[in-house]
């Protein structure tokens, strides 16, 4: 009897997905059967296409970094529905720290600062014309002005326990305006799923299984398991939320009227391929269509966590265009800011028409200036400002009227002041 039980336990352990499995396509088919969702989805995609073309045709500037070439800050909330809200402080502290391990991963992956990207130096020879993409976004777990009724105090990270998202649904209006990660038991065969082009305004989520979220030792019942223990499943599913399809989305190698911008994954610098890749193949060892090699190390394929480490520049452009489409849906004022211990600058006039002067209190200091809108998007940035005369003029060309935040930084500190553009 004990032997049988041991065998059953081993089978159960082996039953955890041995290959990456993503539920995006099934979830999208289900959601698109709802005519209300379908209409909203199509309207959002139409807005995305406009933003995408703007981004493809953008003109760069060395002084004014108008989004999409500026860092976008995205507020995150992480939810553990099966962890009791009555858990002790030690348990909750474990999960809050565990939640942050995943944020660290996606911040590295989406900004091309992950250490294993060094593998691209040798792999790139197999993929001429393919460059690594950097989306220049920053994910931060919200810690201020939490939704009413959640019981989370200001200064405490937005990590929830026992929140069931409308009885197990994949959206919750309470958490509209956040990038929501829901970590729950989804069985043994699926790692996670997300809409293809998600909506923060609807409280939509990226859903992850308990064994493939985060890194490290995890917490009781939530332990990352090899080969999905490096946090790359969230990187993959979040790519779907930002409108990236699988690299193997092509129906065939030579579909009639094929256009890389409208067929397959709709990204032109990912080699066309019609089937997913599993496990951990060597770079250049898997054939794609024609004479190309499958870009197996791409986050939107199905290889194991240790063997995926990059987005392409084309994917970054597409995802960033989608982020720009939905950035206004993210909730403002849910992140704390650092501040100086003394007043270091003044702004005048305020209110203004988009042109104003910063007067610094100290000269001979290298300052950096950012202007941030209420969505957390940096609309202006200038670094290494020398201020012998203590004055610096800012001209925000063609920004919308509203409230903005001027952030002044040195190497050791920062301060923020609010302005009104009329």
Assigned token pair, 198: 């998600």
First to last CA, the chain: 77
Residue from 42, 51, 186, 237 carrying the catalytic annotation: 237
Alpha helix segments (H runs only) across 169-261: 232-241
Q: Which residues contact 214 (CB under 8 A, 6 or more apart)?
A: 98, 99, 101, 102, 105, 222, 224, 231
Alpha-carbon distance 99 to 393, whole Å? 41
Alpha-carbon distance 411 to 32, whole Å? 49
Please tell me whether residue 371 adopts helix, strand or coil conformation: strand
Please tell me whether residue 138 adopts helix, strand or coil conformation: strand
Dump the DSSP string for 26-69: HHHHHHHTSHHHHHHHHHHHHHHHHHHHHHHT----SS---TTS
Task: Give 380's strand partners.
Answer: 371
Alpha-carbon distance 101 to 156, whole Å? 16
Q: How far is CA 44 from the centre of its chain?
A: 18
Neighbours of 232 (CB within 10 A): 27
Q: How many CA atoms lie within 13 A of 56 on its CB side?
A: 13
237 carries an active-site annotation: yes
Q: Are the beta carbons of 270 and 292 closer than 8 angstroms? A: no
Distance set, CA 163 to CA 77, 87, 148, 158 (Å):
11, 13, 14, 12
Alpha-carbon distance 89 to 198, whole Å? 33
Question: How is the beta sheet containing 345-348 ordered, strand by strand?
Answer: 345-348, 355-360, 391-395
Alpha-carbon distance 45 to 31, whole Å? 15
Q: Phi, psi at residue 86, to the nearest 5°?
A: -90, 5
Alpha-carbon distance 330 to 364, whole Å? 38
Active site amino acids: 237
């Amino acid at each position: 009897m004990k032997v049988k039980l041991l065998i059953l336990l081993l089978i159960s352990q082996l039953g955890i997905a041995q290959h990456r499995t993503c539920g995006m396509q099934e979830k999208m088919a289900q959601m698109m059967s709802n005519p209300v969702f379908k209409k909203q989805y199509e309207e959002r995609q139409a807005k995305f296409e406009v933003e995408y073309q703007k981004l493809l045709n953008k003109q760069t500037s060395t002084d004014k970094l108008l989004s999409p070439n500026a860092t976008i800050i995205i507020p995150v909330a992480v939810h553990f529905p099966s962890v009791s809200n009555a858990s002790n402080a030690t348990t909750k502290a474990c999960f809050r720290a565990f939640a942050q391990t995943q944020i660290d991963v996606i911040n590295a992956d989406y900004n091309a600062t992950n250490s294993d990207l060094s593998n691209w130096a040798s792999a790139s020879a197999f993929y001429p014309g393919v460059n690594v993409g950097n989306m220049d976004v920053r994910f931060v777990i919200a810690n201020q002005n939490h939704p009413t009724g959640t019981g989370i105090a200001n200064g405490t990270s937005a990590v929830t326990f026992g929140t069931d998202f409308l009885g197990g649904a994949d959206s919750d209006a309470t958490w509209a305006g956040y990038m929501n990660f829901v970590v729950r038991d989804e069985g043994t065969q699926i790692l996670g799923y997300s809409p293809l082009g998600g909506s923060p305004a609807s409280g939509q989520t990226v859903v992850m299984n308990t064994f493939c979220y985060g890194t490290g030792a995890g917490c009781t019942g939530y332990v990352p398991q090899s080969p999905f223990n490096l946090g790359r499943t969230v990187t993959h599913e979040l790519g779907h939320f930002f409108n990236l399809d699988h690299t193997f989305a092509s129906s065939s190698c030579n579909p009639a009227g094929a256009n890389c911008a409208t067929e397959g994954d709709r990204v032109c610098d990912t080699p066309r391929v019609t089937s997913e890749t599993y496990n951990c193949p060597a770079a250049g060892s898997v054939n794609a269509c024609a004479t190309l090699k499958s870009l197996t190390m791409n986050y939107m394929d199905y290889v194991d966590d240790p063997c995926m480490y990059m987005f392409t520049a084309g994917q970054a452009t597409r995802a960033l265009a989608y982020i720009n489409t939905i950035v206004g849906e993210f909730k403002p004022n849910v992140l704390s800011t650092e501040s100086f211990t003394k007043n270091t600058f003044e702004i005048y006039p305020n209110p203004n028409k988009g042109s104003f002067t910063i007067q610094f209190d100290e000269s001979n200091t290298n300052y950096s200036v950012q202007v941030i809108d209420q969505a957390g998007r940096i609309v202006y940035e200038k670094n290494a400002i020398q201020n012998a005369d203590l004055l610096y003029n800012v001209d925000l060309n063609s920004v919308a009227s509203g409230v903005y935040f001027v952030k002044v930084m040195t190497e050791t500190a920062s301060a923020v002041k609010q302005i009104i553009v009329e």
